[in-house]
A = this chain, B = another copy of it.
Amino acid sequence: MVLILKDGTSDSNIMELVEYLDAYNVSVSVTKGEHTTILCLVGDTSSVSQESVQSFSFVEDIRRIQEPYKAANKKSHPEPTVVDINGVKIGGGNFQVIAGPCSVESEEQIIEVAKAVKASGATLMRGGAFKPRTSPYAFQGLRAEGIELLLEAKKETGMPIVTEIMSAAHLPLFDHVDVIQVGARNMQNFELLKVLGKQDKPILLKRGLANTIEEWLMSAEYIMSGGNKNIILCERGIRSFETATRNTLDLSAVTVLKEKTHLPVIVDPSHATGIVQYVEPLSLAAIAAGADGLIIEVHNNPQKALCDGPQSLTPEQFDNTMKKIKKLRRFMETEI
């Protein structure tokens, strides 16, 4: 940790701060220039409260050096984490495609889509039972019944299922769900994260609409510090000033995460763009950038979809896109 003091800070103030820091298990060195005094703290500075130090009125600025995340940090765990979902592995060279409708609507729908995406090569099925909608008047999902239908589809096809949780109170309903998704709007619902850290199902943690990569890793850290290490990060577009796409897909985040963390990273081009025809090229781009997987919306009848129709591929479109996904993924593995 580096503390920069204001121009003109007196020696007695410097002493006061050094003594304050004495209470912590860190060593402090002081560098004095004509205008600036700099304090360098080395050792385990995680116990030093940045906010308390900043409240000394003569502290101009503070710079943390250690990344604030530990369990998620690649430095502490250089090998990539492989999340194993009943035998379907993600991370560490294992690439998977999760596909399915935005929301579960009926038994026929979810089973038809599940069979179709499985036939095309998807290995996990997604489908929303609890739906976070901006409007209280919009379809809120089939909720408990939606999970039942997903389990039907799982029985029918054998595919593990991924579905979103919106409240810790609903956790008992997720007993037979394979991966629990935390949506963008709940990325900093810390009470929910804590609960999810104390159970052992893998978590698909979506990036918040306006959250930095560091904040995202800190949310993973909430889950990991509870004991659950099985986290899949999912980039799904951030909010910017651009309105041509629903969100702005940040593929650099994939490259940053590959350097900073051992957790697998997948990409959701459907929510990122909100527009069917951009899903395929950005799926391919995500693979080339090094993503460990994709999550793609597929609906058997997008016009009748109760949500997110405009961004859903038909099973035929998905099949066509999957052919390219598989080819490119094989090429990247063998040739690049």
Give residues in A with beta carbon < 8 Å to B.
2, 4, 7, 27, 29, 31-36, 38, 40, 42-43, 46, 49, 51-52, 54-56, 60-61, 63, 65-66, 68, 75, 130, 132-137, 139, 166-170, 185-186, 188-192, 194, 209-210, 212-215, 218, 221-222, 225, 238-245, 248-256, 258-259, 272-273, 277-278, 281-282, 284-290, 302-310, 312, 324, 327-328, 331, 335-336
Contact = CB atoms under 8 A, between A and B. Distances in A.
Copies in the complex: 4
A244 B285 contact: no
Contact of A190 (B166, B194, B327): B166
Contacts of A214: 244
Contacts of A328: 288, 331, 336
Nearest to A212: B242
Nearest to A209: B210
Contact of A29 (B31, B42, B221, B240): B31
A168 B169 contact: yes
A136 to B, nearest CB: 4
Given A63-B63, A259-B277, A288 B290 contact: no
A42 B52 contact: no
A215 B134 contact: yes
A258 B277 CA distance: 11
A188 B190 contact: no
Contacts of A302: 55
Contacts of A238: 240-242, 248
A103 B249 CA distance: 30
A166 to B, nearest CB: 5
Contacts of A136: 190, 194, 218, 221-222, 225
B288 A52 contact: no
A32 B36 contact: no
Contacts of A139: 49
Given A55-B305, A303-B52, A327-B336, A272 B252 contact: yes
Given A238-B242, A241-B240, A336-B327, A36 B42 contact: yes
